[in-house]
């Protein structure tokens, strides 16, 4: 159990009173999937506690419990399809093998496409006896209103700064505060990144700065970033563009950019016009949505850096 999840866990109370459909939502990187997996184990646990010691818990932990199914977007795909939803429905209709309940955990439930969403509505409206559907989402607003209205929502909290740092320090990271700030306070998101992620983000900022000041061209900056993991680079670029836009519009500095980097951020925000910053942000977000498709990295980075080249 992650320390910051204890209050939410206690709120569940008597497992016999758990609703048949539960929507677990909150920001990414805070452990929603781990919480849902533990809840699924509790539903099939021989002691009803997610004890971790009984046969049911061991099977569920290993992904082998016959009464627990995990549904997620297929590898390389952006959506959970109607076929996945139909399989889910059929699974919940079956009689339990070992436990008294059947449980389906849907990871990234906001990526259910419309046909898949419609396919599970009947199950949500008339759940089979002993069936439980746990939906996990970073963006619950993207779910169809008809799905949301048929689920009880449980919002999982972001840890406090102290809780997040304490958790990362147990992993002996060289810069836990920098990682946590870059991950907007989400420890598991921070833990998934390489330890030099804060330094990498600053190097990307320096490349943007060099192009905006005319020291490098977009093509020259692209040479330095074309071999970098594109998803991670786009994540950092989105954060940088958001911080620049925030500084320009509100005069405030995003967490992670305060202190020694604040002067450089303000100076760059003052040099770029709003159209450049918003264009950079929009292009980074749009490209992140296309990561499942084959992309030419050089072309991607060149287009991004072109947004900040000096005008006129």
The answer to the question of residue 78 being in a domain is yes
DSSP string across 3-60:
GGGHHHHHHH--GGG--SEEEEE--TTSSHHHHHHHHHHHHH-TTSS--SSSHHHHHH
Same domain, 15 and 128: yes
Average pLDDT by stretches of 10, the chain with 312 residues: 92 90 95 96 94 95 96 86 95 94 96 94 93 96 94 94 93 87 88 87 94 94 91 90 92 77 91 93 90 88 94 71
The answer to the question of residue 168 being in a domain is no
Q: Which one-letter DSSP state was computed for residue 280?
A: H
With 0-12 / 13-18 / 19 or more C-beta atoms within 10 angstroms meaning exposed / middle / buried, residue 218 is middle
Residue closest to 140 by CA, chosen among 104, 111, 105, 118? 111
Same domain, 32 and 148: yes
SS3 165: helix
User: Quick one: pLDDT at residue 288?
Assistant: 87
Tell me the H-state helices in 139-186: 145-148, 161-169, 176-182
Same domain, 10 and 102: yes
The answer to the question of residue 177 being in a domain is no
The predicted model scores a pTM of: 0.82
SS3 103: strand
User: Quick one: pLDDT at residue 183?
Assistant: 86
Same domain, 154 and 8: yes
- For residues 280 and 304, give the distance between their C-alpha atoms in angstroms, rounded to a whole number: 6
Same domain, 140 and 12: yes
The answer to the question of residue 180 being in a domain is no
- The residue among 104, 136, 158 that closes a domain is 158
Same domain, 148 and 204: no
Q: Which one-letter DSSP state was computed for residue 216?
A: S
φ, ψ at 183 (rounded to 5°): -90, 10
Same domain, 54 and 119: yes
User: Quick one: pLDDT at residue 261?
Assistant: 78
CATH number, domain with residue 12: 3.40.50.300
Same domain, 200 and 268: yes
Structure tokens given for 137: 């989402």
The answer to the question of residue 230 being in a domain is yes
User: Quick one: pLDDT at residue 132?
Assistant: 97
How many C-beta neighbours within 10 Å does residue 83 have? Answer: 12
Same domain, 88 and 151: yes
- The residue among 101, 132, 158 that closes a domain is 158
Q: Which one-letter DSSP state was computed for residue 69?
A: E
User: Quick one: pLDDT at residue 293?
Assistant: 81
Structure tokens given for 149: 């209205």
The answer to the question of residue 222 being in a domain is yes
Same domain, 31 and 81: yes
Range of the domain at 242: 196-306
Q: How many helices (H) and strands (E) does the chain have?
A: 15, 5
The answer to the question of residue 154 being in a domain is yes
Same domain, 104 and 213: no
- For residues 131 and 95, give the distance between their C-alpha atoms in angstroms, rounded to a whole number: 10
Structure tokens given for 159: 């840890």
H or E stretch including 154? Answer: strand 152-155
**Residue 145, CB-side half-sphere exposure with 13 Å CA sphere:** 0
Same domain, 149 and 266: no
- The residue among 158, 187, 209 that closes a domain is 158
The answer to the question of residue 182 being in a domain is no
Residue closest to 116 by CA, chosen among 77, 95, 144, 94? 144
CATH number, domain with residue 210: 1.20.272
- For residues 300 and 311, give the distance between their C-alpha atoms in angstroms, rounded to a whole number: 20
SS3 105: strand
| Angle between helix 297-306 and 197-212 (nearest 10) | 60
| Angle between helix 230-250 and 197-212 (nearest 10) | 60
Structure tokens given for 224: 């330095």
**Structural domain count of the chain:** 2
Residue closest to 241 by CA, chosen among 287, 194, 198, 205? 205
């Amino acid at each position: 159990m992650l320390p910051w999840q204890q209050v939410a866990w206690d709120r569940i109370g008597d497992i016999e009173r758990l609703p048949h459909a539960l929507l677990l939502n909150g920001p990414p990187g805070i452990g929603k999937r781990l919480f849902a997996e533990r809840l699924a184990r509790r539903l099939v646990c021989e002691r009803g506690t997610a004890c971790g010691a009984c046969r049911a818990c061991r099977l569920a932990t290993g992904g082998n419990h016959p009464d627990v199914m995990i549904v997620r977007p297929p590898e390389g795909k952006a959506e959970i399809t109607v076929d996945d939803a139909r399989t889910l429905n059929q699974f919940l209709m079956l009689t339990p093998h070992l436990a008294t309940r059947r449980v389906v955990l849907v990871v990234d439930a906001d990526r259910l496409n419309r046909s898949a969403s419609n396919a599970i509505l009947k199950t949500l409206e008339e759940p089979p006896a002993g069936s439980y559907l746990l939906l996990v989402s970073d963006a619950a607003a993207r779910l169809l209103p008809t799905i949301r209205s048929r689920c009880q929502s449980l919002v999982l909290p972001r840890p406090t700064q102290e809780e997040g740092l304490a958790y990362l320090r147990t992993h002996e990271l060289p810069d836990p505060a920098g990682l946590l700030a870059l991950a907007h306070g989400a420890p598991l998101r921070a833990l998934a990144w390489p330890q030099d992620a804060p330094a990498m983000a600053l190097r990307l900022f320096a490349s943007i700065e060099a192009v905006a000041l005319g020291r490098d061209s977009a093509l020259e900056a692209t040479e330095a970033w074309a071999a970098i993991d594109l998803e991670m680079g786009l994540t950092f670029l989105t954060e940088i563009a958001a911080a620049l836009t925030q500084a320009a519009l509100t005069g405030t500095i995003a967490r992670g950019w305060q202190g020694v980097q604040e002067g450089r951020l303000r100076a760059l925000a003052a040099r770029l016009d709003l159209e450049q910053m918003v264009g950079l942000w929009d292009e980074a977000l749009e490209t992140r949505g296309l990561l499942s498709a084959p992309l030419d990295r050089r072309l991607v980075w060149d287009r991004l850096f072109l947004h900040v080249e000096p005008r006129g």
